[in-house]
Chain A
């Protein structure tokens, strides 16, 4: 019984991590109409920042703000330098641009830090098991990640639903022409969305580093799972990404724990079922 509870919590925690990545993916797609295949590489960069900073200073606490600030800066740079020219280009061009970025990011990582596996230690304060119900206890770090992700998700909902820039972002996602007509600065909205999306992916990488360790091409698997999240969750909505990520996180974790023969396949079967039943996703706005 406590095994199942632990797996469920693992699934929720994994799902919330997936939400951090896929919310950036879906926001950038929704507002700018760009698909960023390099989003998984940004996650990888965040994890390596955690490895380098935590290794250098001995503290993961410094790595988290470093990943966020680095993400904002890198996102702004990419948007201004490259992506802005590609908003109106064909899908094929966008796919290849972001594929090139994957190759360049991975080669850069290989040149700077090599191709070895590394583990990142959990901060000492959180390296304990928290007693839950009865004899069941759970890793404090995983709980902290779960709470942090929930907090970020809540902050995102508030920012998008309640603030001025949030309403501008919603407007940009639904009717880009309206943003121009209203005299809002669309270029600033694009910059903010891209920088925040990048920072979220890199923060997710830094949070995940102690749980998944860091290794070359670690972003690929997460990127593809996040595509499944977006397809299952629904077109271009943060709420869809949230529920989709939780569903995929739980299904993936439970299937790997209890159906070893179908390990990697369960989430794809789920995606196929969703496509048959509701091709626009489970939580799409009608």
Chain B
């Protein structure tokens, strides 16, 4: 049994307004994909392809208009149990918007812990220290507020929050896209390290080819709400000649103008 299965998921955004015309927009169309435990699936696509909506559906935030989402064989939109919430966590792109500015780092990381576990205050504190040191920050940072951190540090706090309850799957929604090159590499390294340590699975949603290749085992290309390519191995993806993949590859800057690829 796969960890996560999406079966024929379609989603439409409809803006129903009282006493006015209804406008609809199809964002996802008949998307099916599977994710095996302990792997990282790279979901690539240009902006507007429906990547983030797909992420929100998997997180249980947006009920799809059609299709099923199975997590460990259970339809997450059918069960009344909220168990899956503990097992699927998320890291968003903009770390400043992903944390409450009125809460300290400690409170931010403690939120899932207080919701899902019953830890005594000192055990909770101990866990918080472990978590924040795990992501490369210090014990003293727990008392700081978000505006005292840089984007990269804040993203580490978001990662600490995501791994706090030992989830099985983390959805990385453009998690490194707003970071500078150095921080991007560091965060990617951290994510890889955590994946091996806790046997995590990732769904890596990104438009960044390099970042996707650094972490993913399998690749899926999404374009205008439809899956237009699936590559089961890194090699298959590297060798792909599909126009959608080439479009993403061509968008990369060459190391030297001489090596510029000819755009199709």
Q: Do A and B come from the same complex?
A: no
